[in-house]
């Protein structure tokens, strides 16, 4: 496995692979690699001849009061994790390699950002879209892998790929969970012992709402209340949002078919956690059980 830090060297490597007829799978990350990233890398490994993982804590997507300066960094541990998935290249550029001067051009995301994580993180998804676009231009992957835990990010990237006619397949992979249901995240290490015990309630609150959907509940405010109350009753966390929307449109859902996202974000003392469940809908009368598996469980 190689570690490449320069954009020109990275581009040369993937061009070389292309000339050899090899496909490239790409997993963008900010490092602090965990089981969720490992599953994305394994998926990329199975479906592509070559695999690149980027490790870059992108200053453009952090707000002034967010954890950019303290975001966990450990390239040695990350290289070990990437090695487990037999990754070919880690692309780990320093900040001034991707941003050698103040940015003059950004990718501005128009739709799907006034909800969920976007509402309280102005500019966050512009920062994500800009760096992902830059990484795509340097690496030119055939397939790029994103986790469904960041469902809003996956939708934003998919929309960007469609809107800019990118010939890259955006692959969204299932959320990886600890045995008690907590979604794995680089920020879980910041939970105190007490918070770690309460944290699985985030997923439990979504499962409770999902059950209501399967029983035929379609009233957004009822579903949001179910999530909210379940969090208030079982955790000391501050609730950032408990939201139910059409997915992947991320708009108020108005039809009885398609999919909905049940999503929540909570803040503990040093960690903000997010989670979601995407539920396929079909016409169900209230009280009638809908026998549809949660996509997360597939």
| Residue nearer to ligand PAF on the CB measure, 172 or 198 | 172
**One character per residue 37-66, x = contact with ligand PAF (rule: CB under 6 A):** ---------------------x--x-----
Minimum CB separation of residue 86 from ligand PAF in Å reads 20
CB 99 within 8 Å of CB 18: no
Element (H, E) at 238: strand 238-247
**One character per residue 112-141, x = contact with ligand PAF (rule: CB under 6 A):** ----------------x--xx---------
Catalytic positions are 37
User: Checking DSSP bridges between strand 24-29 and strand 50-55, what pairing results, if any?
Assistant: parallel
Which residue, among 275, 54, 40, 39, has the nearest Cα to 145 in the 3D structure? 40
150 lies in the site for ligand PAF, by CB under 6 A:
yes
159 lies in the site for ligand PAF, by CB under 6 A:
no
276 lies in the site for ligand PAF, by CB under 6 A:
no
Distance separating alpha carbons of residues 227 and 264, to the nearest angstrom: 8
Distance separating alpha carbons of residues 107 and 133, to the nearest angstrom: 8
Q: Residue 139 to residues 93, 134, 168, 171, 176: CA-CA distances in angstroms?
A: 12, 9, 11, 16, 26
Only segment of 23-31, 73-81, 165-173, 206-214 that touches ligand PAF (CB under 6 A): 23-31
The only residue of 4, 30, 107, 223 in contact with ligand PAF, by rule CB under 6 A: 30
Distance separating alpha carbons of residues 221 and 228, to the nearest angstrom: 10
| Residue nearer to ligand PAF on the CB measure, 132 or 266 | 132
The only residue of 7, 13, 28, 134 in contact with ligand PAF, by rule CB under 6 A: 28
Distance separating alpha carbons of residues 149 and 139, to the nearest angstrom: 24
Which residues of this protein are in contact with ligand PAF, per CB under 6 A? 28-30, 58, 61, 128, 131-132, 150, 153
């Amino acid at each position: 496995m190689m570690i490449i830090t320069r954009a020109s060297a990275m581009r040369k490597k993937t061009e070389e692979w292309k000339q050899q007829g090899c496909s490239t799978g790409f997993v963008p990350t900010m490092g602090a690699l965990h089981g969720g990233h490992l599953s994305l890398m394994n998926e990329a490994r199975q479906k592509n001849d070559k695999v690149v993982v980027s490790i870059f804590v992108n200053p453009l997507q952090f707000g002034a009061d967010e954890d950019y300066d303290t975001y966990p960094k450990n390239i040695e541990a990350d290289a070990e994790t990437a090695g487990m998935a037999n990754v070919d290249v880690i692309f780990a550029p320093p900040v001034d390699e991707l941003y050698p001067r103040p940015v003059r051009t950004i990718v501005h995301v128009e739709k799907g950002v006034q909800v969920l994580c976007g509402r309280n993180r102005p500019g966050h998804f512009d920062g994500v879209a800009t760096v992902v676009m830059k990484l795509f231009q340097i690496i030119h992957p055939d397939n790029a892998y994103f986790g469904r835990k960041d469902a809003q990010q996956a939708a934003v990237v998919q929309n960007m790929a469609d809107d800019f006619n990118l010939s890259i397949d955006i692959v969204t992979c299932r959320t990886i969970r600890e045995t008690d249901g907590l979604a794995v995240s680089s920020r879980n290490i910041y939970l105190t012992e007490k918070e770690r015990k309460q944290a699985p309630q985030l997923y439990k609150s979504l499962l409770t709402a999902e059950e209501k959907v399967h029983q035929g509940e379609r009233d957004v405010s009822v579903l949001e209340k179910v999530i909210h109350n379940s969090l208030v009753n079982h955790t000391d966390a501050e609730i950032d949002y408990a939201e139910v929307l059409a997915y992947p449109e991320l708009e108020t859902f108005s039809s009885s078919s398609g999919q909905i996202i049940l999503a929540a974000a909570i803040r503990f003392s040093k960690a903000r956690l997010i989670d979601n469940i995407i539920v396929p809908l079909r016409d169900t009368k209230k009280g009638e059980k809908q026998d549809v598996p949660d996509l997360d469980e597939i």
